[in-house]
Structure 1
Amino acid sequence: MSAARFRSINAVSGATARRSVRADVSPLRTRVISALVMAPLVLGALYLGGVFTDLLMIAVGAGMAFEWARLTTQGAGSAVGVAALGVGVGILLYALDRPEMAALLLLLTALVAPALIGRGAGLRGRLWLAAGVVYLGAACLGFLFLRARPEVGLLLIGWLIAVVWATDIGAYAAGKSLGGPKLLVRVSPNKTWAGLVGGLASAVLVSVLVAAWQPELAHATRLPGVAGVAVAGALLALVAQAGDLLESALKRRVGAKDASGLIPGHGGLLDRADGLVAASLVLALSITALDATV
């Protein structure tokens, strides 16, 4: 092979490699920029509480309902709009201290929105939409309920978010590094049993650290000290991963990779908040049940 020919091949190979590196780096850069822009806004609203958290949850709840309805109805406009509007207004009513009206509106929306899909829609799609309206709406109300708890609201949602984030990070790290048998191939091909264990371990570790740093967390959740909070963290991690799998099943049903392209580099709101939605609902219901026994 001539020297000129060799240099030409090397130049082409180098250009191809550089394009490949740029293709790999570009999505990561987009994800990082999106996170740097959104995280301060979201965490700031949660920290300030009150109307700031209310407005955030109205927007997020309506957005998630829009994505869920678009997936379940294959984009049927009127049903999607009604689902998003019903959930958003329901959260607004709760924020205005009208919980009964909020619950009634969510139930009404769950009945009306599926009826607007059209005659060609199957029963399964209608049930998915109705369930999604109630599930997402109730989870958002539960999150507001937790944040509004006197004196401990910020601690509760801080612990909740830390557990969900730790679960996601631990599951990803363990799954990537250890591999092993798949968890539910037909629902989410990338998830492994090692990832499940890694997520649980991370959630327990974070719960122990938070409970040791803030002893009032055990009192706020009526759990027996650090050990009780650790067990609760593990259970919430299981719930969060179940929420993740639920959204994966929904996307797999319609052949979608992401719930939407709303957040550059991250997909949709559901893609980012699926585990937090499930964990928020379960924690809020648990504390409500404990309150009823006092």
Structure 2
Amino acid sequence: MVVNNLSSLQQRILTALIALPICIAAVYHGSPYFDILTGFMLMAMIREWSKMVLNQEYNPLGYSLAILMLSLIYTDVSYKKYILYGLLFMGLGGLLHLYLKKRFFDYLIFLAGTLYISWSVYILIHLMHEGLTRFFIWILLIIWSSDTGAYFTGRFLGGPKLAPSISPNKTWAGFMGGCVLATGVGILVGPYLQELYLTPVSMGVVACVLSLVSHTGDLLESALKRYYNVKDTGTFLPGHGGILDRLDSLLLVSFAAGLLLIIGY
């Protein structure tokens, strides 16, 4: 294939040129286009997660829980029914895992990760359905600012490593630089993109917290990949790895944003 003959950087650029317009169009037009795109990415991430943790590309439990989570948006399934059905699927999955004589700890990790990924995607779709598209864009800008600030500050200043055993390239300088830039961007564009946090202090606090969460999401996935001895979660995005590799920060930020909305902050 032609893509395989390109350098890693060329593959990353080509993938970005193809993927970004699709993502921007889906966000701009909203439902059902955004729902279809995020639903597809959810299934792809469940596949990558299952392969990494259980060495199974198509584990029925992961897909069942993910579909059940999304059903909360499109059907009249109550949270009580979701918990009941979810426990039933988890119990059956646990029995099957024991029958296959595989490590039960891996099953628990898979289960926790599946619920976490599904909940995070659920929050993204929920934000769009609630008319919070601009708030979602604000979150994306915070994540991108955090990554950009960390990259350039870390390269320019260097210094002590943040977590050398997990991610050798990350530095404390990059970590602080990412938080500072994300906080600044969150305050500057906040008045134009969201109406939930009105004062500069509240916008700055939330932006800084989400930047911290973004860094944590990246480190969390790096730790899991090292534990399971994989370089990338997949090869779906040439030059970038798997979808989980690209959305690790967004997933945890989405998870945190959902909690902030629930507690009313």
Between the two proteins, the alignment pairs up a number of residues equal to 259
Name the counterpart of 2:9: 28
Could you tell me which residue of structure 1 aligns to residue 111 of structure 2? Answer: 130
Does 2:74 match 1:96? Answer: yes
- Which letter does structure 1 place at the counterpart of 2:171? T
Larger radius of gyration: 1
Instruction: Give the 4+ runs in structure 1 shifted more than 6 A.
Output: none
Are residues 199 and 208 of structure 1, via their aligned partners in 2, closer, same or farther at CA, if it must alter by over 3 Å? same
TM-score (norm 2): 0.89
Identity of aligned residues (%): 30
Partners of 2:76 and 2:44 in 1: CA distance: 21
Q: 1:99 to 1:224 in 2, by over 3 A?
A: farther
Cα deviation for residue 154 of structure 1 reads 0.9
Aligned residue in 2 for 1:259: 233
Equivalent in the alignment of 1:53 = 34
For 1:149, which of 130, 134, 142 is the aligned residue?
130
Question: Quick one: distance in 2 between partners of 1:149 and 1:287?
Answer: 12
Q: Is 1:76 matched with 2:56?
A: yes
Secondary structure at the residue paired with 1:56?
A: helix
Per the alignment, do residues 115 and 168 of structure 1 end up closer, same or farther by CA in structure 2, a change over 3 Å counting? farther
* Alignment equivalent of 2:208, drawn from 234, 242, 245: 234
Match of 2:158 in 1: 179
Gaps in structure 1 of 5+ consecutive residues = 1-22
Question: Secondary structure of 2:150's match?
Answer: helix
SS in 2 for 1:190: strand
Mapped contact 2:66–2:115 kept (Cα < 8 A): no
CA spacing shift, 1:275–1:40, aligned 2, 3 Å: same
Q: Are the structure 2 counterparts of residues 274 and 99 from structure 1 closer, same or farther at C-alpha, using a change threshold of 3 Å? A: farther
* 1:62 and 2:43 matched: yes
Structure 2 gaps of 5+ residues are none
Which stretch has the larger CA shift, 276-285 or 82-91?
82-91
Residue 211 (str. 1) matches residue 190 (str. 2): yes
Q: Which amino acid aligns with 1:161?
A: L
Corresponding residue of 1:4: none
Which protein, 1 or 2, shows the higher relative CO under an 8 Å CA cutoff with sep ≥ 6? 2
Give TM-score scaled by structure 1 length: 0.80
Q: How far, CA to CA, are the matches of 1:99 and 1:168 in structure 2?
A: 38
**Contact 1:243 / 1:278 at 8 angstroms: preserved in 2?**
yes
Once the two structures are superposed, what CA deviation does each residue of 1:204-248 show, in whole Å capped at 9, x if it has no partner?
12101212434xx2xx32x34122111100000111111111111
CA distance in 2, matches of 1:110, 1:241: 30
CA 130–250 in structure 1, closer or farther in 2 if over 3 Å, else same: same
